[in-house]
C-alpha cells in the first residue's frame, strides 16, 4: 500500500476545516482539513498527479489534483483565487502543528461529528470479530 505524503516549506495564508459536500465526497470523510498556501510555495513533483475539474458554488471551475497511484487528493485550486492552492493537511508528513482558523461550509457539516469524542477509543482496530 502506498499513500502520498507531502514534505514542503510554505507560509500559511489560511487554515480551515471544510465541511462542504464536495470535500466530503472527494475525501470520503466527514470534513477536510485544508491549508491555503501560496501557489509559488507548492513545489512538488506533478508528473504523477491527475486533475479533476468540477464547478464551485460560484459556477467557476475548481480543480482537484490527486495521485494517479493511490488516489489521494493532494491539493485543490479555484479559478477565482489563482495565487492560492488548497493543500490537504492529511498529505503532510507531520500535521501535528495544524490549527484550523475556521470551519467553512458549516451548514453542510455532518451532524454526528460532534459525537466523535464521545465514542470509545482503541489502539488500531478492535480485537475480535
38 bridge partner residues: 84
Size of the site for Zn ion (CB under 5 A): 3
Convert 65-79 to b/e letters by CB count within 10 Å (16 or more is b): bbbeeeebbbbbbbe
Distance (Å, rounded) from C-alpha 66 to C-alpha 4?
9
Distance (Å, rounded) from C-alpha 64 to C-alpha 46?
13
Q: Which of 6, 17, 23, 74 binds Zn ion (CB under 5 A)?
A: 23
Instruction: Look up cell 484550523; give the residue.
Output: 100
Distance (Å, rounded) from C-alpha 100 to C-alpha 17?
6
Q: How far is the CB of 2 from Zn ion (least distance, A)?
A: 25
Interface positions, 1-20, toward Zn ion (CB under 5 A): 18, 20
Question: Is residue 87 within the footprint of Zn ion (CB under 5 A)?
Answer: no
Question: Cell triple for residue 37?
Answer: 498556501
Q: How far is the CB of 32 from Zn ion (least distance, A)?
A: 6
Shorter beta-carbon distance to Zn ion: residue 29 or 43: 29
Distance (Å, rounded) from C-alpha 29 to C-alpha 112?
12
Shorter beta-carbon distance to Zn ion: residue 4 or 62: 62
Q: How far is the CB of 23 from Zn ion (least distance, A)?
A: 3
Shorter beta-carbon distance to Zn ion: residue 4 or 23: 23
Shorter beta-carbon distance to Zn ion: residue 20 or 42: 20
Q: How far is the CB of 96 from Zn ion (least distance, A)?
A: 22
Binding residues for Zn ion (CB under 5 A): 18, 20, 23
Amino acid at each position: 500500500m502506498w499513500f502520498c505524503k507531502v514534505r514542503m516549506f510554505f507560509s500559511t495564508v489560511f487554515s480551515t476545516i471544510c465541511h462542504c459536500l464536495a470535500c466530503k465526497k472527494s475525501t470520503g470523510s466527514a470534513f477536510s482539513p485544508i491549508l491555503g498556501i501560496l501557489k509559488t510555495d507548492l513545489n512538488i513533483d506533478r508528473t504523477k498527479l491527475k486533475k479533476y475539474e468540477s464547478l464551485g458554488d460560484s459556477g467557476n471551475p475548481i480543480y482537484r489534483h490527486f495521485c494517479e497511484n493511490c488516489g489521494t487528493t493532494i491539493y485543490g485550486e479555484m479559478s477565482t483565487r489563482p495565487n492560492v492552492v488548497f493543500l490537504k493537511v492529511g498529505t503532510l508528513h507531520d500535521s501535528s502543528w495544524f490549527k484550523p482558523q475556521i470551519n467553512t461550509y458549516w451548514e453542510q457539516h455532518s451532524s454526528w461529528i460532534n459525537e466523535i469524542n464521545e465514542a470509545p477509543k482503541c489502539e488500531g482496530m478492535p480485537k475480535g470479530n
